[in-house]
Amino acid sequence: MIEKRADVVIVGSGAGGGTVAQELIPLARDGRKVIVLEQGPRFARDEFTGREMDMAPALYEDQGGFLTADGTMTLAFGRAYGGSTVVYTGTSMFPPERVIGHWNVPGLDHSDLDTRARKFAEQNNVHLLTDDLINDNNRLFVEGCRKAGYKAEQFPINVKGCKGSSLCNLGCPNGAKQGTHAVQLPNAEKNGVEVVTRAEVVRIEDRAVIVRVSEKRAGTKGLPSEWQPGEYRIASPIIVLAGGAIGTPALLLRSHIQGLPPAVGEGFTCHPAHILAAEHQHDITNDVGHPKSYYLDRAVEEGFVLETCMYFPFTTAKNLAGFGAPHSRLMRAFPRLQMILVLACDHAVAGNRVSVDGHGKPRVHYQFTKQTIDALIAATRASARIFFAAGAVRVHAPSADPPLLERADADRIDQRIDASHFKPGKISVSAAHLMGGCGMGPVTDSRGRVRGLPWLRVADSSLFPDSLEINPYLTIMALADRVAEGVREDIGSLAAEH
Amino acid sequence: MRDSTFAPVRDAFRAVAGTIVPEAQSLDERAWTELESAIDTGLQTRPDSMRRQLRIFVRAIDVLPLFRFAKRFRALDPAQRTQFLLALQDSSLLLIRRGFWGLRTLVFMGYYGREEAQRAIGYRADPRGWEARR
């Protein structure tokens, strides 16, 4: 095993890790060694082909289909230089005051988080797209919402030079998305922070990490690692974990660190989601243009959020319920499909948690509560009304049996879409907003310091004590900024002890 | 290199796949190979035990209709095949529903992951975005 030393090791390079890396530039400038370890590879710009079967295996864990322990939901999270910021749509929402208040974390103030989130929004070029770049899929959502009595709002997004490829979730082929891979990490590297890719942290020891650096396999995408393949032990007085809401708790649990708070892994939430589709009579622009430009926030009233979306053929096929001729008919209507993503604002409950198996691999235990199912049903009903109001001739709703609703069913939406048809294991439920597992409060303080282990910090969405009820990356960056501030304050004393 | 996941149960698998996506019935051998190879790639990161379970599941789908229709799945007519798979999809046992969901997902991956199928359904996303349409 090769021995190395650092002053700060950051595990993960997504919204959390990438932010901490940048915010520790002052330490690097002072001659301290800051190392970021990223499990995924770094990609060359021309490797982003936009082809679903090329990119999903390269960018996502289990191609975006990581299964929960009972196999009833798939979870999507990125593995790349930049983490999940490479594969999100760039929708940039500020921390909601109501939710941060409900979290009730001592020392965490909404206005402080909001100020920090706005700093990153500016850095990452967050703005509203101009009207000429909005496609029909999004326009129909706005129109349908208006006619159905709702008010859609426009997502601020973090792109620069967006060509409207619609391929955000497969990594932007035009380098337009301003994730940490495009902004914070390059800035950090330019200023002396070292980023090592293909570097999987096997476990943590007292003030040290054990890392396995992998070789690039022939025929796979991504650049080779910056380090020689092999196993390394890096001693460091501060270790910051930012491997995401599955990776971070799993790493802590398999490391068996003495004094670890018992609540590690608890409180997992994920905004369980359905992809809904509706068929129009005529072709619409759907697979061109930014896919996620508008949303409808019904979190307070009904516990859900609707977002525009457009997915790729396999992802779409997987998420439509059923099979055979009716399924094929809908797939052949692809150029006429309007899509809505419905997200339930789930809440942390006992039993929904991350654990590890005998090999240290993460397992996510998740049961749909009645509240979550009711939210998904209410969201599906609202979406059906919006689709029909926008002129759709038929709507596909997984919680209807059969799943296709014709226009004639428009006045029977509440009867047709019903919780009795929500059958886990039969219908597709997926999630990409993974949160909790190292919640501020039981596991860390409001600056991500793990209780009882001041050398260990957490700086990702696993800090959320409950779901955020909106797209999380700006809130993660704001929290990570606070963690970095704490590291800058504490490095002197912790390094002296080491 | 590992054998194709469904090679030992190829006829039964193709009968199931052709029921899940009826258009698959008209694929030629090259397209079937492409479909099955995409599934193998998709399963690369999964444990070997999952591949074994999938083969057992396909075998079971082929054999179980003997009790009800006195024929193997692959010998059933299209309506009977659909009826049988619908029963699996709606099974009261989570294990069965989940198994069918997984198999169906793999078939969709193999079929709709192919660019030929994507073109056939009119999917036109292009990295050039709006420029490619105007």
Concatenate the DSSP letters of all residues of A266-300 into one string. Answer: B--B---EEEEEEE-SS----SSS-S--EEEEEHH
CATH node for A131-156+273-345+369-423 = 3.30.410
Tokens (6 digits) for A353: 């948690």
CA of A261 vs chain B CAs: smallest distance (Å): 31
Residue in A closest to B126 by C-alpha: A165
CB contact under 8 A, B127 and A335: no
Residue A373 pLDDT class (50, 70, 90 cuts)? very high
CB contact under 8 A, A425 and B38: no
The count of CB pairs under 8 A between chains A and B is: 125
Separation CA A263–CA A192 (nearest Å): 36
CB-closest option in B102, B112, B115 to A317: B112
ipTM: 0.96
* SS3 assignment, position A6: coil
Note whether residue B1 is domain-resident: no
In this prediction, residues A183-192 reach a mean pLDDT of 98
Separation CA B15–CA B32 (nearest Å): 12
Partner A contacted by B20 (CB < 8 A):
yes
H helices, E strands: number in chain A: 14, 22
Q: Convert the pLDDT of each residue in A28-84 to its tens digit.
A: 999 999 999 999 999 999 999 999 999 999 999 998 999 999 999 999 999 999 999
Question: Using CB atoms and an 8 Å cut-off, which of residues 72-91 of chain B contact chain A?
Answer: 82, 85, 89-90
The residue length of chain B stands at: 134
In this prediction, residues A103-117 reach a mean pLDDT of 97
CB contact under 8 A, B109 and A314: yes
Which residues are registered as beta bridge partners of A74? A67, A430
Residue A100 pLDDT class (50, 70, 90 cuts)? very high
The per-residue pLDDT for A79 is 94
pLDDT at position A498 over 90: no
CB-closest option in A283, A313, A324 to B112: A313
Partner A contacted by B108 (CB < 8 A):
yes
**CB contact at 8 A, A318 and A428:** yes
Q: Convert the pLDDT of each residue in A13-34 to its tens digit.
A: 999 999 999 999 999 999 999 9
Separation CA A262–CA A288 (nearest Å): 48
Strands A337-344 and A304-308: antiparallel
What is the C-alpha R_g of chain B? 16
Q: Could you tell me which of A155, A473, A181 has the C-alpha nearest to residue A290?
A: A155
Chain B residues within 8 A of A331 when measuring between CB atoms: 112, 121
Partner B contacted by A53 (CB < 8 A):
yes
CATH node for A2-125+168-268+435-497 = 3.50.50.60
Question: Using CB atoms and an 8 Å cut-off, which of residues 7-36 of chain A contact chain B?
Answer: none
Note whether residue B2 is domain-resident: no
Separation CA B109–CA B24 (nearest Å): 12
Partner B contacted by A63 (CB < 8 A):
yes
pLDDT at position B130 over 60: yes
In this prediction, residues A416-437 reach a mean pLDDT of 95
pLDDT at position B126 over 90: yes
Q: Convert the pLDDT of each residue in A230-249 to its tens digit.
A: 999 999 999 999 999 999 99
Number of domains in chain B: 1
Q: Name the residue type at position A230.
A: G
Does the N-terminal peptide bond of residue A402 adopt cis geometry, omega within 30 degrees of 0? yes
Q: Convert the pLDDT of each residue in B30-41 to its tens digit.
A: 999 999 999 998
Q: Could you tell me which of A167, A151, A150 has the C-alpha nearest to residue A159?
A: A167
Give the mean pLDDT of chain A: 96
Which residues are registered as beta bridge partners of A279? A337, A394
Residue B2 pLDDT class (50, 70, 90 cuts)? low
Percentage of the residues of chain A whose pLDDT score is greater than 90:
97
In this prediction, residues A413-421 reach a mean pLDDT of 95
B104's CB contacts (< 8 A; 6+ apart) are A323, B20, B89
**CB contact at 8 A, B83 and B76:** no
A192's CB contacts (< 8 A; 6+ apart) are A25, A28, A29, A34
Partner B contacted by A119 (CB < 8 A):
no
Q: What is the pTM of this model?
A: 0.95
Separation CA A157–CA A290 (nearest Å): 9
CB contact under 8 A, B130 and A164: yes
What is the domain partition of chain A in residue ranges? 2-125+168-268+435-497, 131-156+273-345+369-423
pLDDT at position B3 over 80: no
In this prediction, residues A414-434 reach a mean pLDDT of 95
Strands A208-213 and A230-235: antiparallel
pLDDT at position B1 over 70: no
Give the mean pLDDT of chain B: 93
The per-residue pLDDT for A192 is 97
In this prediction, residues A378-382 reach a mean pLDDT of 97
The per-residue pLDDT for B45 is 81
In a mutational test of the B interface, the residue from A168, A172, A288 whose CB has the highest number of chain B CBs within 10 Å is A288
Residue A395 pLDDT class (50, 70, 90 cuts)? very high
The per-residue pLDDT for A419 is 96
CA of A241 vs chain B CAs: smallest distance (Å): 25
Sign of CA dihedral A449, A450, A456, A460: negative
The parent domain of residue B128 ranges over 7-133
Q: What is the largest CA-CA distance in chain A?
A: 73
